[in-house]
Amino acid sequence: MAIAGGIAAYKGAELVRLLKKQGADVRVILSRGAREFITPLTMQALSGEPVHTELLDESAEAGMGHIELARWADLLVIAPATADVIARLAHGRADDLMTTAALATAAPVAVAPAMNQQMWANAATQENLILLTQRGIQIIGPDQGEQACGDVGPGRLLEPAQILQALQSRFSSRQLDNKKVVITAGPTVEAIDPVRFLSNHSSGKMGYALARACAEAGAEVTLISGPVHLSPPDRVRLLSVTSAIEMHDASIQEADGADLFIGAAAVADFRVSNPAREKIKKNAQPDLTLTLVENPDVIAAVCQLARRPTLVVGFAAETSDLLSHAREKRVKKGLDLVIANDVSDPHTSFGSDQNAVHLIGALSEQHLALASKQVIAEKIVSILAERLSEPAAASS
């Protein structure tokens, strides 16, 4: 938890107390400005841990240095966050301990702004906040009302209890407690010979973000992944596969009786019918003809299982006629829901960290605007969890 310099810093102290009461281990970073309002001694007494103040301080680096601190946290919350901190976060600055920790952590970051209403309304602040939101940083508040400077308007730090509630709803929704979820992700790789293959540009980021969001919502998650350059999220069981056939076989086995199956993988439609056992030599033949045979449709096969998952959700990555192709795909494959995204748009193409999607069900459709893949994943998971809690609505 980091506290920036502002009159609302005392509410940050109260938030530390509330987090401790909930059983959280809290380490406090106090900016130089914050130390004008509250003392490290107060925060040490409240958190029961040494307080971190400087980026490069010999004694701190000998204990828990700034990178260790960033790794230690499951969540970094900055409350209050001043306009200056928000600007520095937006630009990836690392000029003090707080912003360095925000840059160096893989944990979710939440920011509770507090500032004068005119500073809040300033286009610079608003644009910085959009950047932070797009990167998946949670913005909590601010509140409206009378300000310390005498102005009235938006910019007051939310009450600590409200900030706590916002953090709890994000990090332990438990919406998928006791649910078994299977997700496919990444590309498949189809051998031509022992050194060459056919594949595609899927990065696996969307499937991995969904796996993380499902695990955070309490599900037991199995992630069946083609080759990608990503680490599996915590508390997710990873099954690594290579080809479409392997992904098919693993999916059939794992999806049997599951509550939710999400097909986020870009499965190769074809494989080489007879991959060469030895490396194909350049001079052996003037032309090379590869015969391709169709791969099984993994998600359609999952829909045919006797113990079909309650909800089966597919993706439709399209470059034209997004919605009509996605609607057709939903019906043809027997899916409950299709998540359609436009891969011709550079903001949402393969490998991007952001996405914008349409959720297409039998009776309703919904658009989720451009945001980080993690934020989109959390929204999708929340919608799916709601559907799972009302079985009759599964195919709406």
149 part of the active site:
yes
Catalytic residue among 67, 106, 130, 149: 149
Residue 17: CB minimum distance to ligand C5P, A? 46
The answer to whether 187 contacts ligand C5P (rule: CB under 6 A) is no
Alpha-carbon span 10 to 29, nearest angstrom: 14
120 bridge partner residues: none
Of positions 100, 184, 354, 374, contacts ligand C5P by CB under 6 A = 184
Give the CA distances from residue 310 to residues 21, 182, 259, 290, 323, in Å, rounded to whole numbers and listed in that order.
Answer: 38, 12, 5, 39, 24
Phi, psi angles (nearest 5°) of residue 52: -105, 130
Per CB under 6 A, the segment of 157-165, 198-206, 234-242, 263-271 that binds ligand C5P is: 263-271
359's tokens:
């959720």
The answer to whether 137 contacts ligand C5P (rule: CB under 6 A) is no
Nearer to ligand C5P, 182 or 298 (CB): 298
Of positions 69, 164, 265, 388, contacts ligand C5P by CB under 6 A = 265
Query: Site map for ligand C5P, 281-320, x if CB under 6 A?
Result: --------------x-xxx--------------xxx----
Of positions 211, 214, 267, 380, contacts ligand C5P by CB under 6 A = 267
Residue 246: CB minimum distance to ligand C5P, A? 12
Nearer to ligand C5P, 163 or 255 (CB): 255
CA 216 to mean position of chain CA atoms: 10
Per DSSP, the chain holds a count of helices (H) and strands (E) of 14, 19
| CB contact at 8 A, 163 and 141 | yes
The answer to whether 254 contacts ligand C5P (rule: CB under 6 A) is no
Spell out the residues 6+ positions from residue 270 whose beta carbon is closer than 8 angstroms to its own: 190, 198, 292, 293, 294, 295
Residue 376: CB minimum distance to ligand C5P, A? 15
Of positions 210, 244, 375, 385, contacts ligand C5P by CB under 6 A = 244
Cβ-in-10-Å burial (0-12, 13-18, 19+) of 41 comes to exposed
The answer to whether 205 contacts ligand C5P (rule: CB under 6 A) is no
Alpha-carbon span 116 to 133, nearest angstrom: 21
The answer to whether 360 contacts ligand C5P (rule: CB under 6 A) is no
For 327, how many CA atoms within 13 A lie in the half-sphere containing its CB? 8
Contacts with ligand C5P by CB under 6 A lie at 184, 244, 263, 265, 267, 269, 295, 297-299, 314-316, 329
Residues noted as catalytic: 149
